[in-house]
Amino acid sequence: MVTTLIDQISEDIVETIREPLLVLDSDLKVILANQSFYDSFKVKPEETVGQLIYDIGNRQWDIPKLRELLENILPEKTSFDNYEVEHDFATIGKRVMLLNARQIEQAMGKERIILLAIEDITARKEIEAGLEKTRKELVIIKKSADEAHEFADSVINTVREPLISLDQDLRVVTVSRSFYDFFKVKPEETVGQLIYDLGNKQWDIPRLRELLETILPEKTSFDNYEVEHDFATIGRRTMLLNARQIQRGMGKERIILLAIEDITERKKIEDGLEKSSEKLKFFAYSISHDLKSPAIGLYGLTKRLYKDYADILDEKGQRYCEHILKAAEQIAELVEQINVFITTKETPLTIERLALKEVLQVIREEFSSQLSIQEIRWSEPDYIPEIEADRLCIIRALSNLVDNALKYGGEALSEIDIVYKESLESHILSITDNGIGLKQEDYHEDIFTPFIRRKTSKGIQGSGMGLAIVREIAEKHGGDVWLEPGQERGITFYISISNHLQLSR
């Protein structure tokens, strides 16, 4: 029963930890892995537990530096911190990891076990290159003579984040060293104290009381609970709390595990990026707004100049004028599309009952001349139910998709088919053409990014804003936009719209 209880508590502690964690036997086979490991490295429990660590994920973990740590360094040193490993995983791409390892000699002649904590510092390495700053601190391992406490304490102190355990009266039972280091408190002022009394009552935080006294008793666990507080010792901090309530066996009282992640710096970065984004949007809007009239004027003046003086220009002069006229037209179109994109992004939706058949009729009439000249067959469903959406936005999105087919379909284009279907969450329209299709190298998500333009047989066309506008409209309607290339030619664009939108009042 004691062994079972130890295993239960140990597994609960492992699962509370935010970092991926493995427990290995002396043969380097996996005894236990936490959910964070499975989620981060896209592997399943049945493919992991009982396997040699190097064989996990179709031998993706057969990493020379990992072998060096486990087979050469650890047997000599029994523990190792901040061992950096870089590896390219087939499933999740290149990752840079910090490994913390502890070799624990178990009692009563049992074989040793190895704790391996894995911190993905890929983003942090990018931060150090100029993107962000690291948020975690070094981990120090604490051992205990008792096997259960030794294992629990080793796990707790392997984690880089502050971790604390409480009894059912919310008094502190165990604390990680990173907690003491980060929050500037001493063990003698912490263990045995009510959590709210720590640091001269600095931890008497209303949001923390709500989590421990109201939410946790009902849910037994809670993740990513954000708390902001101004500490007298370390200043204002924003924290994410992970909490687990563990019901111990044989009538013993429950314990609560509380993991704390300091996201203060991350929030500052996010706030800074948001402010920068707002400034950039204002700048882009101002520039595009100021350029709109000159761009349209330039296009009109160039067109008039070409019309009035083309006859007196030689062939070279006419060619120059044609280039200027085309460039002026592209500038005017780009400025207009930037204005449309910003307006679409910033303007709230006006949700109304909308007949899609009428919308499709408007779009068909808009492109009627081009459809007739190119002899393109237009096909749409006989019946489409009404939906709730912003009329102007939906017309703009569908017009852009039809224009995209006409612009990039090439001479092979002879038909455009529109299909409607409905899922539990969305209305979905697809627009399929039988044009020249999309090359494999152009098939990526960037196609919906502003200013990404595709090549046609006539060179690069368009402003590169059309599909970005479509995505913005789809996302504002709680949906998405995506594409599927045809088998040999043609392409299908899909746009989904949530069917849970509320009518505007």
* Equal fold, 161-262 vs 265-347: no
Considering the four listed CATH numbers 3.40.630.30, 1.10.540.10, 3.30.450.20, 3.20.20.150, the one that applies to the domain covering 1-135 is 3.30.450.20
**How far from 379 is each of 71, 417, 432, 435, 438, CA to CA, in Å?**
66, 5, 10, 15, 21
Q: For residue 418, what pLDDT is reported?
A: 93
Q: DSSP for 395-432, please give it.
A: HHHHHHHHHHHHHHS-TT--EEEEEEEE-SSEEEEEEE
Judge contact between 12 and 257, C-beta under 8 A. Answer: yes
Structure tokens at 214: 């109201």
Q: For residue 261, what pLDDT is reported?
A: 84
Residue 158: helix, strand or coil by DSSP? Answer: helix
Q: Kindly state the percentage of the chain with pLDDT values over 90.
A: 13
Residue 275: helix, strand or coil by DSSP? Answer: helix
Q: For residue 203, what pLDDT is reported?
A: 83
Residue 446: CB partners within 8 Å, gap ≥ 6?
A: 452
DSSP letter at 442 equals: G
Q: Which amino acid is at 437?
A: G
Structure tokens at 11: 């597994």
Handedness of CA 305, 306, 307, 313 (dihedral sign): positive
- CATH 3.40.50.1980 is right for the domain spanning 161-262: no
Handedness of CA 403, 408, 414, 416 (dihedral sign): negative
**Which has the closest alpha carbon to 256: 292, 295, 208?**
208
**Which has the closest alpha carbon to 258: 191, 193, 211?**
211
Q: For residue 295, what pLDDT is reported?
A: 60
The half-sphere exposure of 7 on its side-chain side, counting CA atoms within 13 A, is: 6
Structure tokens at 56: 């996990």
Map out the domains of the chain as residue ranges: 1-135, 161-262, 265-347, 349-505
The residues pairing with 6 across neighbouring beta strands, listed in sequence order, are none
Q: What Rg value do the Cα atoms of the chain yield, rounded?
A: 31
pTM recorded for the entire structure = 0.41
Considering the four listed CATH numbers 3.30.310, 3.30.70, 2.40.128, 1.10.287, the one that applies to the domain covering 265-347 is 1.10.287
d(CA 394, CA 477): 9
Residue with tokens 């006419």: 318
Q: DSSP for 29-94, please give it.
A: BEEEE-HHHHHHHT--GGGTTTSBGGGHHHHTT--HHHHIIIIIIHHHHSEEEEEEEEEEETTTEE
For 313-368, what is each residue's pLDDT tens digit?
A: 777 777 777 777 777 666 666 666 666 666 667 678 889 999 999 999 999 998 99
Q: For residue 5, what pLDDT is reported?
A: 45
Q: How many helices (H) and strands (E) would you count in the chain?
A: 17, 19
Handedness of CA 109, 14, 36, 272 (dihedral sign): negative
d(CA 471, CA 451): 13
| Residue spans of the chain under pLDDT 50 | 1-2, 5-6, 132-152, 289, 456-460
Considering the four listed CATH numbers 3.40.640.10, 3.40.50.720, 3.40.50.1820, 3.30.565.10, the one that applies to the domain covering 349-505 is 3.30.565.10
Q: Residues 124, 127, 132, CA angle at the centre, nearest 5°?
A: 110
Alpha-helical runs (H) found in 310-409 = 315-346, 356-366, 368-373, 391-408
